[in-house]
């Protein structure tokens, strides 16, 4: 078992190193928003989901909009239900305790690496968990380094740090494009978000644009290919 | 509630939600819809949510916000590197601000 744990951790090194790069950016942004380092560290430990943690930092303001932050995290992490479901063959026959203790560290990156190894017959739950420990270590350390660096940036505006989040999300979104059928939902999301941002306070535009766009996707005529779920699993894994 | 307590409550709630989804997906694997409208909604959500987050900030940065976003997206499509693409977008905005300030 220790061997599989180690193999999973080693296999995740390249993706963990690139996640560490955004981790550092997340740390810088959290520092700029005057979020306590303890709060950031706590989110590394208990949330441990990159894009959701970016959203939390982005929405952080006083008084804290607890409910809309939690709702946004729920929606952005809804894909983890699909991640969890796709891991069912790996966990088949394991105890509830085994499942409950291993799942927390299932992030997009080590999940994608594990699924690829699973297809070659090389993965088990230790492999997944080893990858999770690797991701967790790189992620936590990098956010703290970024936080430290954030304090030394003299003029964040001139370095366009306020644009960093928009740019990261833009890059991540391009990887989620699934072809022409995304056109209308994406257009709807953009229009709804921009209009809502003018009309409603706080960050309601994230929820309204996101849910509205996804509803358009649900209302469009359904046409799906039999093996689409797995191919989407791959693209999401690569993107986030 | 004090600011610190509220921060802790916020993070814990987000953590519980995320953990619940991870474990819930595994435990409910057989019951999740594999096709149909609910599934189409779930599949579309990551993309539409990220776009909604970006769009108002792009508009707020004006024409140069649009240019920087376009180049970030093109770079991401070409290189598949989110980090490099982010730096391209930030460099465009930073350069534009530098020029505007010195003029």
Decide which of A14 and A237 is more confident.
A14
pLDDT tens-digit series, residues A161-202: 888 878 878 987 888 888 999 999 999 999 999 999 999 877
How many CB pairs below 8 Å do chains A and B form together? 305
Residue-wise pLDDT for A92-133, tens only, equals 999 999 999 999 999 988 998 898 888 888 899 999 999 999
% of residues, chain B, pLDDT over 70 = 100
Q: Does the pLDDT value for residue A234 go beyond 80?
A: no
Nearest beta carbon to residue B44 from set A197, A206, A214: A214
Of all residues in chain A, the percent with pLDDT exceeding 90 is 55
Cβ atoms < 10 Å from Cβ of B10: 23
pLDDT on residue A149: 92
In this prediction, residue A224 has a pLDDT band, given cuts at 50, 70 and 90, of low
The gap from C-alpha A76 to its chain's centroid, in whole angstroms, comes to: 8
For residue B50, what pLDDT is reported?
83
In a domain, B64, yes or no: yes
Asked if A13 and A133 count as a contact pair (C-beta separation under 8 A), the reply is no
At A144 the pLDDT is: 98
Query: Do A193 and B36 lie within an 8 Å CB cutoff?
Result: no
Average the pLDDT over A4-21 and give the result. Answer: 89
Q: Does position A233 have pLDDT exceeding 60, yes or no? A: no
> Cβ of A214 and B83 within 8 Å?
no
pLDDT value, residue A239: 46
Question: Per-residue pLDDT averaged across B70-98, rounded?
Answer: 91
Phi/psi of residue A103, each to 5°?
-70, -30
A41 pLDDT tier (thresholds 50, 70, 90): very high
> Would the pLDDT of A20 be above 80?
yes
Question: CA A19, A86, A84, B29: dihedral to nearest 10 degrees?
Answer: 170
- Tens digits of per-residue pLDDT, B25-54? 999 988 888 888 988 988 888 789 889 989
Chain A (70-89) residues lying within 8 Å, Cβ to Cβ, of chain B: 70, 72-88
Closest alpha carbon within chain B to A18? B83
Structure tokens at A27: 């740390």
Average pLDDT (A144-168) is: 86
Residues of B in contact with A189 (CB under 8 A): 47-49, 51-52, 55
Predicted TM-score (pTM) of this structure? 0.78
Q: Are A93 and A67 in contact (CB under 8 A)?
A: no
Segments making up each domain of chain A, as ranges: 2-174, 178-240
Q: Is residue A139 within 8 Å of B68, Cβ to Cβ?
A: no
Mean pLDDT across chain A, nearest whole number?
88
Chain B residues in contact with A77 by the CB 8 A cut-off are 17-18, 21
With contacts defined as CB-CB under 8 Å, which chain B residues touch A111?
A: none
Percent of chain A residues topping a pLDDT of 70:
92
Q: What was the pLDDT predicted at B97?
A: 93
**Per-residue pLDDT, A238:** 47
Measured between CB atoms, which of A48, A190, A236 is closest to B55? A190
Q: What domain range includes position B82?
A: 54-103
Q: What is the pLDDT of residue A34?
A: 92
pLDDT at A225 over 60: no
Distance between CA atoms of residues B76 and A216, nearest Å: 26
Pick the residue with more confidence: A126 or A231?
A: A126
The lowest-confidence range among A156-160, A233-237, B32-36 is: A233-237
The span from the first CA to the last CA of chain A, in angstroms, equals: 28
Count of structural domains within chain B:
1
Q: Could you tell me where the beta strands, DSSP code E, fall in chain A?
A: none
Rounded to 10 degrees, what is the CA torsion of A108, B55, A53, B41?
-50
pLDDT of residue B30: 86
Burial of A149 per CB tally in 10 Å (0-12, 13-18, 19+)? middle
Q: Which of B7, B36, B97 sits opposite A64 (nearest CB)?
A: B7
pLDDT tens per residue across span B62-74: 999 999 999 999 9
Contacts of B69 in chain A (CB under 8 A): 166-167, 170
């Amino acid at each position: 078992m220790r061997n599989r744990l180690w193999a999973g951790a080693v296999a995740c090194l390249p993706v963990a190193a690139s996640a560490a790069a955004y981790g550092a950016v997340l740390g810088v942004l959290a520092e700029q928003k005057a979020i306590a380092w303890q709060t950031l560290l706590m989110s590394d430990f208990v949330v441990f989901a990159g894009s959701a943690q970016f959203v939390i930092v982005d929405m952080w303001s006083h008084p804290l909009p607890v409910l809309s932050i939690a709702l946004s995290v729920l929606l952005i992490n809804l894909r983890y239900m699909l991640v969890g479901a796709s891991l069912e063959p790996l966990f088949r026959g394991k105890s509830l305790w085994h499942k409950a203790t291993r799942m927390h560290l299932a992030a997009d990156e080590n999940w994608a690496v594990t699924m690829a190894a699973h297809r070659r017959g090389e993965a088990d739950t230790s492999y997944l968990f080893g990858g999770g420990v690797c991701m967790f270590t790189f992620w936590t350390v990098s956010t703290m380094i970024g936080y430290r660096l954030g304090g030394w940036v003299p003029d964040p505006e001139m370095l366009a740090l306020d644009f960093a989040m928009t740019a990261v999300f833009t890059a991540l979104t391009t990887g989620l494009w699934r072809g022409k059928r995304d056109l209308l939902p994406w257009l709807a999301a953009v229009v709804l978000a921009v209009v809502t941002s003018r009309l409603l306070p706080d960050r309601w535009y994230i929820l309204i644009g996101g849910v509205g766009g996804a509803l358009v996707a649900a209302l469009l005529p359904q046409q799906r290919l039999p093996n689409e779920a797995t191919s989407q699993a791959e693209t999401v894994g690569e993107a986030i | 509630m004090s600011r610190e307590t509220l921060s802790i409550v916020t993070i814990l709630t987000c953590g519980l939600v995320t953990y619940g989804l991870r474990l819930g997906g595994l435990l409910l694997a057989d019951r999740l819809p594999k096709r149909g409208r609910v599934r189409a909604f779930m599949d579309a959500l990551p993309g539409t949510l990220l776009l909604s987050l970006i769009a108002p900030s792009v508009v707020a940065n004006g024409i140069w916000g649009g240019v920087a976003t376009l180049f970030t997206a093109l770079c991401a499509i070409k290189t598949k590197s989110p980090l490099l693409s982010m730096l391209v977008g930030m460099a465009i905005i930073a350069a534009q601000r530098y020029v505007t300030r010195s003029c």
